[in-house]
Homo-oligomer: A and B are copies of this chain.
């Protein structure tokens, strides 16, 4: 699997097949509308593992994807610890022992259950919002006659 690293260190801009593209912290931050601080924090929490070029962080596709997944998880209300749990086990999978793998399956089932409940919650909350919306429009309409 180890591919000989290309010796051209610089000269990348646009024509790269995306698998080899790299990103600076600022780039990623703009892409996902977060601050660099957030990205560094996620690294510190073990969610990202960029390489270095001198002292600067270099992010690969893998890191970008991880960041995306992390932010998605956050939007769904997962804690960074929960997210890390899955992500790290995913990485440890190839050489994972059976116990670890079964544990992973458990966690996944758990997350899935969580998602299902969220779906139901969304359904219910939608209905309530629609309801409130209706009423508000009603009142507005009647107010309109007055104005």
Q: Which residues of A contact B (CB under 8 A)?
A: 69, 72-73, 75-77, 86, 90, 93-94, 96-98, 101-102, 104-105, 108, 111-112, 115, 117-119, 121-122, 124-126, 128-129, 132-133, 135-137, 139-140, 143, 147
Contact = CB atoms under 8 A, between A and B. Distances in A.
A124 B143 CA distance: 43
A104 B143 contact: no
B132 A76 contact: no
A136 B108 contact: yes
7 contacts: A75-B118, A76-B121, A76-B122, A86-B132, A104-B132, A112-B129, A115-B122
A146 to B, nearest CB: 10
Number of copies of this kind of chain in the complex: 2
B118 A122 contact: yes
Contact of A72 (B76, B104, B124): B124
A56 B76 CA distance: 37
Given A72-B121, A76-B125, A119-B122, A96 B133 contact: no
Given A122-B115, A129-B111, A98 B135 contact: no
